[in-house]
Structure 1
Amino acid sequence: MLRNLVVPAAFIVTALMTGCQTTLDNNYKPSTPVVWNQDQPESKTPPATKTTVEPIPTKHPENIITIKEQIIQTPIHRNGRLILGLEEGVELPDLNLQMTAKLDTGASNSSVDARNIQLFERDSKKWVKFNLYRTSKGTVPLELPLKTTIKIKRPGLKAIERPVVSMTIVIGELTQQVMVTLTDREKYQYPLLIGRNFIQDLAIIDVNKKNIAKKSLVESRLVKVVASKGKKSFTKTINKPVSVDGLKTLGAIEPITFPDSNITLKARIDTGAKTSSLDARDMEIFQKNKKDWVRFNIPYQGKIKTMEQPITRFLLIKRHDQESERRPVITINTKIGELVQPAQFSLRNREGYKYPVLIGERFLKDAAIVDVSQKYTSGAAQRGHE
């Protein structure tokens, strides 16, 4: 019985295997045959790209050289007028001389240090002979035509008559032929005084500076810099214009207010005076809290204003033809336009002067420049005592 079962089983296995083979043959599709072309070159790996390595440059030391820097101060203008310092070098081209001058906005005329003055006639015309002192050539004897004489009025003293000559004066780019008074200036610092007859319409005065009318070397220094290879040392010029930034402009005449006393007076702006001056009458010095005080009167709008102030110091005034005068100096608050500051004033009787107040150099220092071509720059003229 087992034998009979084995035969059919073998048959079944054979049939199954045959069926599977038949199914595979019916669905089979052969792939495209690969044909090898012997003429095609054999594939090769492309050569590697050649990289050029630049050599690292050797760092050369920097070319450091020493140069000379020169700082040149250059003149400036304001409102078409040249800014001049309180002191300037002056040329007298007609006489081939140079002198040092002070710019004085308080003086109407210019004056020069002349001594041994003698008047004489030549060809029926008046001439003057004199020695001109403190010039670039020392003392120089001169003879010039006499243009006129002027009388110098001095309060309480006899008027002095002085000869006047014509001189051509050059300051920087400015050239003017002006009348110059001959006077003994031995006791004054400057041999030449330049007044408003030269300054008017040409210049503005800055008391903070000196010798700014022409270009001048103000500083020279050595500086190390990095330069290109082969560059040699050289000189570098740097122009530095004169600066008046932050300074107010005052005219020849300004109203000045004393806020503590509530009075306003007219003042002459005078760069020739060191200390400002105030018209004070009937002065009386007294002690208060063991300190010196002064009581004085100020004529104001037809009335008298009495003031009392502590004395800051005493000022000794020396004049070559008068006795020395000792004046009390006070410190008082002031206001000229937007310029508000405490200032020192020497007290004296100014009855014989046109203006009761004189504003001097110390007041103007670091505060204002002066243009004598203008008046009342701080506003309309206020009522005040002249």
Structure 2
Amino acid sequence: MFKRIVIAAVLCFLSISVFASDKTVLRQVETMTVAKSGLHYRARIDTGAANTSLHAVDIDIIGGASKKMKNDVGKVVEFTTQNERGEKKRIQAEIVSTSRVKNSQGIETRYMVKLDVGFANEFHNIHVNLRDRSHMNHKLLIGRNFLKHDYIVDVSDKKMIGPLAELSIKQTGLLYNTRIDTGAVENSLHAVNIRVDKEDTVNIENNIGKMITFTTANEKGQQAEVRTKIRGTSLIRNAQGTERRYMVRLNVGEPRHEYVVDVNLKDRSKMGYKLLIGRNWLQGHYMVDVSKKH
């Protein structure tokens, strides 16, 4: 009897795992688009919201608005939407219904329109309510009416990354074929032709806070010159002994998802990877799966 229960439980778990694996995992915030707008939004994923909500101002009903909003159903509404970058677009959509929304300010009625919402290669035609979200950080809020299309929300804020990844450094404008190294405490970037303003060549600690200029290159040989401030120094121990390197702060990450992190500078000319990612970039953001292909 006990064996039958265990086997049944295992089969149930496996079936749930297979079912879950068929669904797309979304993070708390995703880059999404509304097809008619052509804009990209930093969308907040909200399982607490029944419907999706889009920032809309300067709302006009084509042909004139009725005294009661529900009488405008079937008409075309024109409005201006805007993303987090301040990019704007004026678009039109048919009003399919109105919705009454309860919030801390009370109850408000909003127009509902049908729009294609999603990602560049995957849209869903859903009801979206229009609201002035000027005072909100996210101009597009994704509700359950979108998420029910086979999506799971992961609020851990951790993404999966493999042992190799194509990463960007915003200050360089370059993409690097990057080695992910959980054994390294810090990130390390290829840097040559290093010049420090009014450099103290005897004690490099005295150069902290000064401006540094250096040349970097990616694996394709594409080069860029960077000028920034020295944040500190780092004592690195390796097979050759110990060496002290300058530390600078750069925006490193997946293209358009970079974040600020400290990076030490080293001549990596003889190394296969010009950018090495250590734990100070991974911590709190990524889990490493060495079976994941680049």
For the pair shown, which has the larger CA radius of gyration, 1 or 2? 1
TM-score for the superposition, normalised by structure 1: 0.34
The one of the two structures with greater contact order (alpha-carbon pairs below 8 A, sep at least 6) is: 1
Please give the TM-score of this superposition, normalised by the length of structure 2: 0.44
